Chain A
Amino acid sequence: MSEPTGPKGLTRRQLLSRATAAGASFVVGAGFMAAPNGAWAMQTTNLKPETMASLVQMARDIYPHDHVADEYYAIAVKGYDTAEAAEGIEAGVAALDAMAQGKGHASYLAMGWERDRVDILRAMEDNPFFQQIRGGLVTGLYNQKAVWPLFGYEGASYEFGGYIDRGFDDINWL
């Protein structure tokens, strides 16, 4: 029931130099992570960048929408980069990695197939760490106004006069 995580703290920038690959989706440097295509980057202050990268992947694996860019998942979990939350999150991601290692992978992020990562998540779905992340995503992801148009949802309508003249009954395929 919390307010959505805002876009604060997220900056778009060009691909950063001295970056090292930490997973399929992310390039991580000292204290920051960035998309391989340079579309966006995010600084972390309390979490290790690799941990944030794992969280973003975990968020996508929980609520996978292939037409929604990583940027929005990153915004959704950015709020865990706090002094209070960091210890629990680091422990949770370490547990994810340990489970991945138990299946012969270097880390959760290093698992190439979504189904393998989801198997790990299914095995831990009743634990508080998983529930914390999943529960937070319900508002953290789906209550981002920038995400709504990706699903066709139009949001507020009062300021546009409602839909009385804007297609409330325009269905044409029945």
Chain B
Amino acid sequence: MTAPFELSDDSVVVVIGTGAGGGVLANELAQKGVSVVALEAGGRHLPEDYLNDEWASFGQLAWLDPRTTSGDWRVSQDFAGLPAWIVKAVGGATTHWAGASLRFQEHEWKAATTYGNVQGASLLDWPIDAAEMDPWYTKAEEKLLVTRTGDRPGLPGNNNYKVFEAGAKAIGYEGVSTGRMAIQSTPDGEYNMCQQIGFCFQGCKMGAKWSSAYRDIPEGEATGNLEVRENAQVARILHNDAGKVTGVEYHDADGNLQMQKARVVCVAGNSFESPRMLLNSASSMFPDGLANSSGQVGRNYMRHMTASVYAVFDQPVRMWRGTTMAGIVTDESRHDPSRGFVGGYELETLSLGLPFMAAFLDPGAWGREFTSALDLYENMAGMWIVGEDMPQETNRVTLNHDVKDQHGLPVVNVHFDDHPNDIAMRDHAYAQGQAIYDAVGATRTFPTPPYPSTHNLGTNRMSEKAQDGVVNKWGQTHDIENLFISDGSQFTTGAAENPTLTIVALAIRQADHLASEMSKGNL
């Protein structure tokens, strides 16, 4: 049941994007009786459509509109037109995510205070903290049915996890487990139990992994208060002479420009599209783009310090069997500058199928050094490294006026240079990851470079003071009172943890605030 709202209905909240931020926000608002139009650039794909086939699924789900890159990051060299591996579909990247659901650590909300002056970094404390977020995290864990929270047991460990666990314990790590995952781990739950299919990145065909595509969106639609418009790609956000936003122009499925009026606009298009929409909405009143009086829109792009370590053994592992992110080591997530860097990182198992392993193990490599690794694909184990990267003002999403999308709008250029702290942390993590596998008899290990980014953060960051960022502690833009940011682009800093749980917690909190302010007549 969808609620069709008129384009001229200026009482609706327009939410742009239906992923972890927008999808949750839209549902939460609808549950509270707020009328919502959600504009989704992609189509709707559900578990029956998902493909157990890496490249075919990539073609089905990935955001493939043109983008450009610059900077010294290796992604710019290896995947110049594909800086991010994110999804263009109802549910956004929650179709693709692996399910890791971790809270920020207390000190990570206070990065500037905790880490001190880090040269070249634009660190800032969040205007919110662990105590403020605790109840919202609890609500998020209940929504996502996160294992090892509440009374939910952990998932069983697969082969890839068992290798990882044995190696990690052998070198003295203690925080080793199958982690906190938004995946149904028991047969008696509300949703299908994980069947260890092994294609978490391609959309869970059991619906065992939480995704807004098949949980929050249909829940919201069932209230009659939420209308989702698919294949509706936003061009720009409109405003009036009073400096308030009034509606959203978008291209519909047929490419026709439509305009939906709005009482409030919430932007949740991921850290490239969200600033792009603000910048593409520049007007005579806001010549640098909406909500950009600080000049901070698009800046402080973060992508986590990522890397992977793969290893081959003299016997089979078959890492592709079972959950893709099957376990975690948390010991290195602490802040301990004696290691030569600030902040910390998590080690999480990861597997790729043969087609993606060929593309990502060492992009561009060829010859026997490379192919002898793939020859032992069956004997391979793998982990991903995810750590806090330093925000830098010059790591930045800007409009590239030389390249236009299918609607004639400038695409984004994504500029990223690694900070020396990122490099020091990555080198440390490579050594630890290789040590884990060496401890259980790896015959060869591979310190694999970052993939196109899945954790895209910053670019509309949250700040106490208007001059330091784009939004306040509610995700409300400092400049425009009825314009909100609702995705990971509002992150002040990235922390070491996978971001989805925090995006969801912030969206639940923002929905509560929005509904309250609207009922008071403040919005």
Chain A positions within 8 Å of B, measured between CB atoms, are 1, 3-4, 62-65, 67, 118, 125, 134, 138-139, 141-143, 147-148, 151-159, 161-164, 166-171, 173-174
Q: B159 contacts which of A65, A143, A171 (Cβ < 8 Å)?
A: A171
Given contacts A153-B353, A171-B317, contact A65 B198 (CB under 8 A): no
Measured in the bound complex, the distance between the Cα atoms of B378 and A56 in whole Å is 26
Given contacts A65-B371, A153-B353, contact A4 B55 (CB under 8 A): yes
- 5 tightest A-B contacts by CB? A152-B378, A162-B195, A156-B52, A168-B322, A142-B358
B-side binding surface: helix, strand, loop or mixed?
A: loop
Given contacts A63-B366, A152-B378, A174-B440, contact A167 B52 (CB under 8 A): no
Question: By the criterion CB–CB under 8 Å, are A156 and B53 in contact?
Answer: yes
Does any Cβ of A come within 8 Å of B166's Cβ? Answer: yes
Question: By the criterion CB–CB under 8 Å, are B55 and A143 in contact?
Answer: yes
Taken residue by residue from 197 to 216, chain B's Cβ proximity to chain A (1 for < 8 Å, 0 otherwise) reads as 11100000110000000000
Question: By the criterion CB–CB under 8 Å, are B58 and A1 in contact?
Answer: yes
Question: By the criterion CB–CB under 8 Å, are B195 and A161 in contact?
Answer: yes
Taken residue by residue from 30 to 74, chain B's Cβ proximity to chain A (1 for < 8 Å, 0 otherwise) reads as 000000000000000000000111111011000010000000000
Chain B positions within 8 Å of A, measured between CB atoms, are 51-56, 58-59, 64, 156-159, 162-163, 166, 194-199, 205-206, 315-318, 320-322, 353-355, 357-359, 364, 366-368, 370-371, 374-375, 377-378, 440
Question: By the criterion CB–CB under 8 Å, are A152 and B316 in contact?
Answer: yes
Task: Determine the chain A residues whose CB is within 8 A of the CB of B194 once the complex forms.
Answer: 162, 164
Q: List 19 A-B contacts (CB under 8 A).
A: A4-B55, A62-B366, A65-B375, A125-B366, A143-B54, A148-B354, A152-B316, A155-B52, A155-B53, A157-B197, A157-B198, A157-B199, A158-B206, A162-B196, A163-B195, A163-B196, A163-B197, A167-B318, A171-B317
Quote the shortest CB–CB distance from A52 to chain B (angstroms).
20
Task: Determine the chain B residues whose CB is within 8 A of the CB of A134 once the complex forms.
Answer: 364, 366
Question: By the criterion CB–CB under 8 Å, are B59 and A163 in contact?
Answer: no
Task: Determine the chain A residues whose CB is within 8 A of the CB of B159 once the complex forms.
Answer: 167-171
A141-B358, A147-B354, A168-B196 known; 18 new pairs, CB 8 Å cut-off, are A1-B58, A62-B366, A63-B371, A134-B364, A139-B359, A142-B374, A143-B54, A152-B377, A153-B377, A154-B321, A155-B52, A158-B195, A158-B205, A162-B196, A162-B322, A163-B197, A164-B194, A167-B159
Measured in the bound complex, the distance between the Cα atoms of B358 and A30 in whole Å is 35
Measured in the bound complex, the distance between the Cα atoms of B206 and A162 in whole Å is 10
Task: Determine the chain A residues whose CB is within 8 A of the CB of B59 once the complex forms.
Answer: 1, 3
Quote the shortest CB–CB distance from B316 to chain A (angstroms).
7
Measured in the bound complex, the distance between the Cα atoms of B353 and A153 in whole Å is 7
Measured in the bound complex, the distance between the Cα atoms of B44 and A43 in whole Å is 42
Quote the shortest CB–CB distance from A128 to chain B (angstroms).
14
Measured in the bound complex, the distance between the Cα atoms of B166 and A173 in whole Å is 11
Quote the shortest CB–CB distance from B334 to chain A (angstroms).
28
Task: Determine the chain A residues whose CB is within 8 A of the CB of B377 once the complex forms.
Answer: 151-153
Quote the shortest CB–CB distance from B243 to chain A (angstroms).
42
Q: Which residue of A lies closest to B322 (CB)?
A: A168
Given contacts A139-B55, A167-B318, contact A158 B197 (CB under 8 A): yes
Measured in the bound complex, the distance between the Cα atoms of B196 and A147 in whole Å is 23
Quote the shortest CB–CB distance from B47 to chain A (angstroms).
9
Measured in the bound complex, the distance between the Cα atoms of B118 and A133 in whole Å is 44
Given contacts A138-B358, A155-B53, A157-B199, contact A163 B321 (CB under 8 A): yes
Task: Determine the chain A residues whose CB is within 8 A of the CB of B205 once the complex forms.
Answer: 158
Measured in the bound complex, the distance between the Cα atoms of B54 and A24 in whole Å is 35
Task: Determine the chain B residues whose CB is within 8 A of the CB of A161 once the complex forms.
Answer: 195
Question: By the criterion CB–CB under 8 Å, are A64 and B368 in contact?
Answer: yes
Task: Determine the chain A residues whose CB is within 8 A of the CB of B367 once the complex forms.
Answer: 62, 64, 118
Question: By the criterion CB–CB under 8 Å, are B52 and A158 in contact?
Answer: yes
Question: By the criterion CB–CB under 8 Å, are A3 and B196 in contact?
Answer: no
Task: Determine the chain B residues whose CB is within 8 A of the CB of A169 once the complex forms.
Answer: 156-159, 162, 322
Task: Determine the chain A residues whose CB is within 8 A of the CB of B353 once the complex forms.
Answer: 153, 155
Question: By the criterion CB–CB under 8 Å, are B371 and A152 in contact?
Answer: no
Measured in the bound complex, the distance between the Cα atoms of B354 and A153 in whole Å is 6
Quote the shortest CB–CB distance from A80 to chain B (angstroms).
18
Question: By the criterion CB–CB under 8 Å, are B196 and A153 in contact?
Answer: no
Task: Determine the chain B residues whose CB is within 8 A of the CB of A166 once the complex forms.
Answer: 321
Measured in the bound complex, the distance between the Cα atoms of B322 and A154 in whole Å is 12
Q: Which residue of A lies closest to B158 (CB)?
A: A168
Task: Determine the chain B residues whose CB is within 8 A of the CB of A143 once the complex forms.
Answer: 54-55, 355
Which residue, of A63, A170, A171, has the highest number of chain B Cβ atoms within 10 A?
A171
